[in-house]
Structure 1
Amino acid sequence: MTQPEASAPSLAVVSPHFCSPYPVDIAIVRKLLTYAHGKFEVTDVNGNIILKVKGDHLLDAAGYPIITLKQKMLSPHDRWQVFKGESTKSSDLIFSTKRSSVLQFHTKLDVFLARNTTEKVPDFKVKGSWTAKSCVIYAGDDSTIVAQMHKKRTVKSELLGKDNFMVTVYPGTDYAFIVALIVILDEVITGRISYCSNSIRQASGP
């Protein structure tokens, strides 16, 4: 697998503002005891908050909505759509995601930019184990890694009811875009867990 060098072209999906010519390490804090939206905070390596998730929005550090994330209801592939700012208009669509197949044993998401209307070939792919927090995000044909997620669990974080993991975003890659993909991935996985749990309870009866 190849990784972008510092001179790699910008992969600005949300905005060039979130691209860096150098690798960027960010920490994502998921509050384990919070089940509603808004359970993520994103910090730099010094602990400064750079992004937040609140409701259906990804916000910058000042609380300004950058993008809106919407799940497409009744979609067998768990399709999500991401729009500019607070919009949900089709003209403001940035990208969409869906599971690679209805039945899968490992996490796989296909990502399509808005201009890719045929969706024959995904522009990005997400693969890996969500439970192990070892997902990798690829550009195009799986030959180029643009970001990698890895677990960072501490005794202190568990006592505080938080789940911390690190993401290395490679040069030229839009880190707001990467965070959006991770939030969607979490929603897809936790949503399916909740659905399965409810189905088991209903099947077993009172």
Structure 2
Amino acid sequence: MAEQDLNNRSNTIPIIGSEFVRPQPSDLTIVGDTVKDANGNKVFKVKTPLFGLHNKRILLDPNDSPIVTMKMKVTSKHDRWQVYRGGDLDDKIFTVKRSSSVQLKTRVEVFLKHNQTKEASCDFTIKGRFMKRACTIYVGDSTKVIAQVHEGDERLVATVYPNVDCAFIVTLIFIFDLINMAGTGV
């Protein structure tokens, strides 16, 4: 982690909600569908509904209340996922898609609600590798890192930089993993 990025507290990034933003770096551990903080407390869980026409996941808080719904667009050649607030599929927050249909390294672009009609330049970028389950999340096409993920012993470990929405990052991690699984034919 770059020292200057850790100390840059002037830019808060609350995409899903300010209640998920911490002023210090947050280390999260993801095992299966459960996300825990550094103290071992469950902070999020991802639920896969049993029935439905669309491939979707729901990010839940520790009380099992829906935070966001992630829904894959079935007819997309770029593995496009749309993310909605809570369980309401009318309140879209952002869209995530693979930057091109053929890639050696995974590059995924994130477009916030205000930027979804043009998609001229992305708001966030996720770069990583298929097999390593590791990625780095950047602001737009810049080199400003807001989170990093690496694979540990049968788990993913994420470091979310200060003033960044942890629910947003966790949502991106799960979508990135699902896109990687689709790209490998799993």
The reply to whether TM is greater than 0.5 is yes
Question: Helix, strand or coil: the match of 1:180?
Answer: helix
**1:79 has 2:72 as partner:** no
**1:46 has 2:46 as partner:** no
Once the two structures are superposed, what CA deviation does each residue of 1:93-142 show, in whole Å capped at 9, x if it has no partner? Answer: 10001101111011110000001131100000000114213210000222
TM-score by length of 2: 0.89
- Aligned amino acid, residue 66 of structure 2: P
Question: Helix, strand or coil: the match of 1:150?
Answer: strand
- Aligned amino acid, residue 50 of structure 1: V
- How many pairs are equivalent? 175
Corresponding position of 2:166: 175
Give 1:47 shift. 1.2
Give 1:194 shift. 3.5
Once the two structures are superposed, what CA deviation does each residue of 1:144-195 show, in whole Å capped at 9, x if it has no partner? Answer: 0000001211xxxxxxxxx212100001100110110111111112123336
Matches within 5 A, 1:89-108: 89=90, 92-108=91-107
Q: 1:12 to 1:186 in 2, by over 3 A?
A: same
- Aligned amino acid, residue 149 of structure 1: V
Larger radius of gyration: 1
Give 1:62 shift. 0.6
Structure 1: any 5+ residue segments left out of the alignment? 31-39, 154-162, 196-206
Corresponding position of 1:135: 135
- Aligned amino acid, residue 49 of structure 1: K
Question: Helix, strand or coil: the match of 1:135?
Answer: strand
- Which protein is richer in helix relative to its size? 1
Once the two structures are superposed, what CA deviation does each residue of 1:3-61 show, in whole Å capped at 9, x if it has no partner? Answer: 2525232100110011011100000112xxxxxxxxx1000112111000002210000
TM-score by length of 1: 0.81
- Matched residues in 2 for 1:99 and 1:144: separation? 20
- Aligned amino acid, residue 138 of structure 1: Y
Question: Helix, strand or coil: the match of 2:103?
Answer: coil
Structure 2: any 5+ residue segments left out of the alignment? 49-56
Q: Which moved more, 1:171-180 or 1:129-138?
A: 129-138
- Aligned amino acid, residue 126 of structure 1: I
Question: Helix, strand or coil: the match of 1:143?
Answer: coil
